[in-house]
């Protein structure tokens, strides 16, 4: 796989975003992504997660296909970033509120 598919910004749905955020593991992962240094590979992020790597990969895909994250292939690792601009345009204030709520 060379290219990774992402939904266009205007196809991101509220229900889809909510579903992606309805799992504790994905909320945890999203928190890690938000904390990460820019360009930090996702293998670093998943270190404290007690889940099989294929399960983590599955969660990454759900987040990406919901429009929450953008995945960039860099060698044999991937860099994952939040789609902050797209999300804030489509659902203003939602992502910051979620990120603030994750560490409660």
- The binding site for a second copy (CB under 8 A) comprises 14-15, 18-19, 21-24, 27, 90-94, 96-98, 100-102, 104
Q: Given the complex with a second copy, which of 1 and 104 has the nearer CB atom?
A: 104
Instruction: Spell out the SS3 assignment of the chain.
Output: CCCCCCCCHHHCCHHHHHHHCCCHHHHHHHHHHHHCCCCCEHHHHHHHCCCCHHHHHHHHHHHHHCCCEEEEEECCEEEEEECHHHHHHHCCCHHHHHHHHHCC
Question: Binders of DNA among 4-63, rule CB under 7 A?
Answer: 19, 22-23, 25, 41-43, 46, 50-62
Least separation in angstroms between CB 93 and a second copy:
4
Q: Given the complex with a second copy, which of 4 and 14 has the nearer CB atom?
A: 14
Least separation in angstroms between CB 14 and a second copy:
5
1 near DNA (CB under 7 A): yes
């Amino acid at each position: 796989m060379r290219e990774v598919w992402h939904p266009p910004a205007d196809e991101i749905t509220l229900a889809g975003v909510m579903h992606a955020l309805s799992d504790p593991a994905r909320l945890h992962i999203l928190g890690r992504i938000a904390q990460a240094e820019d360009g930090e590979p996702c293998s670093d992020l998943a270190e404290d997660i007690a889940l099989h790597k294929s399960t983590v990969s599955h969660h990454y895909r759900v987040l990406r296909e919901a429009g929450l994250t953008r995945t960039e292939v860099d060698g044999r690792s991937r860099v994952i970033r939040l789609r902050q601009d797209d999300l804030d345009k489509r659902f203003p204030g939602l992502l910051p509120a979620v990120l603030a709520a994750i560490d409660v």
